[in-house]
Amino acid sequence: MTVYAPPLKDFRFVLDHVLGFDRLAALPRYQHLDAELTDAILGEAGKFLAEQWFPLNQVGDEQGSVLVDGVVKTPEGFKEAYELTARNGWIGIPFDEEHGGGQVPATVSTAITEMMDAANASLSMVVGLTAGAIEAILHHGSDEQIATFVPKLMTGEWAGTMNLTEPQAGSDVGALTTKAIPQDDGTYRIQGTKIFISWGDHDLAENIIHLVLARTPGAPPGTKGISMFIVPKYLVNADGSLGERNDVKTVSLEHKMGIKASPTAVLAYGEDSDGAVGYLVGEEMRGMRYMFTMMNAARLEVGISGTAIADVAYQNAVQYAQERIQGRPIGAPATESVPIIEHADVRRMLLSMKAQVEAMRAIELTNAFHLDLGQYHPDEETRETHRLLAELLIPITKAWNTDRGVEVASTAIQVYGGAGYIEDSGMPQYYRDARIGPIYEGTNGIQAMDLVGRKLPSAGGKAIMSLIADLKSIDADLEAAGPGFESTRRNLTAAIQTVEQATGWLAAKGMEDPNEAMAGATPYLRLLGNTVGGYLLARQALAAKKLLDQGAEDKAFLDAKIVTARFYNEQILPETLGLLGAVTSGKEMLFALEPEQF
């Protein structure tokens, strides 16, 4: 049986001492929020998820969701847990009070999402997808669509999905062929097949609201010709009650490596009629833009899941290392055995996991913090600066966190040794669940290309220049911190210089030949993520030292912050220097072999 303890203390530390919670509470939108209320929200969420969701995590992996006679059955206990989640208001927590939401900042809801993902990654997805549907309809739907669909989505009575991928298109959304044929009554008839639709059908909610990308007649090829449609599983009557079943059929469920409780469906639209009834969202041929309202939120959430699964895997590895008696210290009598946490290499693995998890958490919360300030700060110029930083960090949060999540989950199995390879330990599930993260919502290679091709040159490079300035700003504080911070300062300075070199090379070569820049995109994303992680841990170490100098009581926690940051910057960050060659080597070697030579 695995364990999970919500990392409430760490959330609070990052909010208060790295980001500055007072800056959030000062925003007019969040003036109702204070530290005490935030602690209460996070504490209640953590308690609920640990008690109600986490015990179902292994059950969900063992039973999975199954398709029986055209009906999707979720694992035992999932429906009851979902209903409790909806009843307690956790689905609508980020949204405006006027729509029935909790109106908490993205920074706080990000912490809640991490706990959801850690407690039960499969169940968390249906909450996240529903929130994404709410966001898209609120931003782009008509008043009638908002009134019809949002209240039921907020309460969880209805759930949401997003439908992009098709068999022939894969990640190339512009290649989709699903048709949307306009009708005289203003509706559309949707015809086509969608694949890899997470929670595409299930028995948790009474209705499912699909947001579907499709093409209207005469639409141009590529992403410019795509429109978005609301296609409910059950049509909705004028009085809000459910009407007849729409022509949306679950053809099959995928048999997946992980997140087995999350049903991944193949959906057929209009197979038994002239099309499923759909309602145009906004204007025709702006669907891809609208879908990005959901996509950016989804990419952030996938990155959060990388942190979450890594954290719960780490927590279990620590407990096992403290309890498993094996081997003896060097020089000790042959009869003396100790917990494996006393062995140097086990400690190296645990510290590596701890450092990476804390860096991942700091990155996701920082990303969400910039989203909050970028949307709600009263000053327009300040909003723009934070908006650009948030956009820049999205591919890093998504890709860097999920890559690290897989690595940490793998290391957790290594700590267990042979026992970790056995399903009964519970550890293989975390590795299997984590592995989808680098693939979801645009593979990590696509995220890297987005970072280099779109985010770096955005607004004349303002975001990356602002980020590099932030990274450099810590140097004087590290120098003033004195003994114990020299190596952190030295390694972080070298990493930042490497980021500058790599960024300059990409900017120059990208102007000459985009393929030169794309060839180095993935190592560049890892380089930048590594460096941002080291910077944020260094900031945590400085905050911990300041608190200790002021006589703070929680010495063990604060000392650990300093040690963890130093370990990361001494033993993990130096790999960043070796990535410069991969970033700047260009495309030549990648295209040196003919396809048949592989």
pLDDT at 293 over 80: no
pLDDT at 45 over 80: yes
Cα separation, 320 vs 326, in Å, equals 11
pLDDT at 333 over 90: no
User: Which percentage of the chain shows pLDDT scores above 90?
Assistant: 93
Q: Which of the 8 DSSP states describes residue 418?
A: G
Cα separation, 367 vs 241, in Å, equals 39
- Per-residue pLDDT reduced to its tens digit, 245-290: 999 999 999 999 999 999 999 999 999 999 999 999 999 999 998 8
Residue 170: what pLDDT?
Answer: 79
Amino acid letter, 248 = V
pLDDT at 28 over 80: yes
- Catalytic residue selected from 284, 358, 441, 516: 441
Secondary structure of 459-525 in the HEC alphabet? HHHHHHHHHHHHHHCCHHHHHHHCCCCHHHHHHHHHHHHHHHHHHHHHHHHHHHCHHHHHHCHHHHH
Amino acid letter, 310 = A
* Overall size of the chain counted in residues: 598
Cβ-proximal residues to 371 (8 Å cutoff; 6+ apart), any chain:
106, 107, 300, 386, 390
Cβ-proximal residues to 231 (8 Å cutoff; 6+ apart), any chain:
163, 190, 209, 210, 211, 212, 246, 248, 269, 276, 277, 278, 279
Centre a 10 Å sphere on the Cβ of residue 471 and count the other Cβ atoms it contains. 22
CA dihedral 323, 325, 328, 334 (to 10 degrees): 150
pLDDT at 582 over 90: yes
Q: What rounded mean pLDDT belongs to the chain?
A: 96
Contact (CB, 8 A) for 363 and 532:
yes
Q: Which of the 8 DSSP states describes residue 359?
A: H
Burial 50-87 (b: 16+ CB within 10 A, else e): bebbbebbbebbebbbebeeeebbbbebbeebbeebbe
Residue 486: what pLDDT?
Answer: 97
pLDDT at 342 over 90: yes
**What sign for the dihedral angle of Cα 223, 224, 226, 227?**
positive
Residue 206: what pLDDT?
Answer: 97
Residue 329: what pLDDT?
Answer: 79
**Distance of CA 121 to CAs 54, 349, 441, 567, Å?**
9, 24, 15, 29
CA dihedral 26, 28, 31, 32 (to 10 degrees): -160
Residue 252: what pLDDT?
Answer: 97
Element (H, E) at 428: helix 427-434
Cα separation, 263 vs 103, in Å, equals 30
Centre a 10 Å sphere on the Cβ of residue 592 and count the other Cβ atoms it contains. 8
- The whole-model pTM stands at 0.96
Residue 593: what pLDDT?
Answer: 95
More confident residue, 334 or 122: 122
Cα separation, 418 vs 105, in Å, equals 43
Contact (CB, 8 A) for 273 and 248:
no
pLDDT at 297 over 90: no
Cα separation, 532 vs 185, in Å, equals 53
Q: Is 51 a catalytic residue?
A: no
Contact (CB, 8 A) for 290 and 137:
no
pLDDT at 294 over 80: no
- Looking at the DSSP bridge assignments, the partners of residue 181 are 189
